[in-house]
Structure 1
């Protein structure tokens, strides 16, 4: 029953993303959602998935918040006179607490999708993620923000 409910929610999400709530598009979203659930059925048990939904929503909300905030900051930076004087680009080595490939990949992707930042590389021993920022007045604050934000939420989602 819960997988059916999740498939319906995925279908509604699909329709919202595509912007078309036609019957055909809802059915397509339902089929894609059902196939996705079937593919991940062994990695995420049914009871675990329901417990993780609030954590996933919390991570998504944090990403949307950071996306909007970063886009606004980049907009102000680009439109400000003397932009080149305000730019403080830098690359930092972010110490990873995330261990699995999925956690590290998701973290790197969320950082890259946030305007003004870009994941550059992961160290061979997978203990550091190298991040480029367009404007970085305080490296320690940025490391703390990533660790307490995206990384902490991702670890919550992926812990058993």
Structure 2
């Protein structure tokens, strides 16, 4: 019963993200959500899914906030006169606290999905994630923002 409720919530979330509450889109969200839950069922028990649901929702809300904020910043940058003078591209080595493949992959994907940033590579010893940004006036601030934002939330979601 719990997995059914979570699948329904995932379907509604899917419809909200895509902006289409049609029957077909809700069914697609339900099927994809259910399949995702089935894939992770052995790694995460039902009780853990319910316990972690607020943390997962918090991570999703943070991502949506960062997505909207960075999309606006990139829009302003692209539409500004003399854009090439305002660009401050850089690649940084972000020191990873995330250790598992799932944590690192999710962090890299969230960074890449956020406009203006791109995960480039992971160091061979898995201690750093190389991130490219279109505009980076303060490297230390960017490292702090990622560490206290996406990475902290991801570690919360995956902690046992």
1:117: how far off? 0.5
Match of 2:73, SS?
Answer: helix
1:91: how far off? 0.4
The aligned length equals 159
Between stretches 104-113 and 5-14, larger displacement belongs to 5-14
Distance 1:131 1:86, change over 3 A: same
Q: Distance in 2 between matches of 1:59 and 1:28?
A: 22
Runs of at least 5 residues in structure 1 that lack an aligned partner in the other structure: none
1:80: how far off? 1.0
Residue equivalent to 1:33 = 33
Q: Distance in 1 between matches of 2:30 and 2:80?
A: 46
Q: Distance in 2 between matches of 1:68 and 1:91?
A: 22
1:21 matched to 2:8: no
Residue equivalent to 1:7 = 7
Distance 1:26 1:140, change over 3 A: closer
Match of 1:130, SS?
Answer: strand
1:6: how far off? 1.1
Q: Distance in 2 between matches of 1:28 and 1:135?
A: 37
1:7: how far off? 2.1
1:11: how far off? 3.0
Bigger CA radius of gyration: 1
Q: Distance in 2 between matches of 1:50 and 1:33?
A: 15
Residue equivalent to 1:79 = 79
Residue equivalent to 1:65 = 65
Runs of at least 5 residues in structure 2 that lack an aligned partner in the other structure: none
1:136: how far off? 0.5
1:30: how far off? 3.4
Alpha-carbon RMSD: 1.6
Q: Distance in 1 between matches of 2:32 and 2:113?
A: 24
1:19: how far off? 1.6
1:53 matched to 2:53: yes
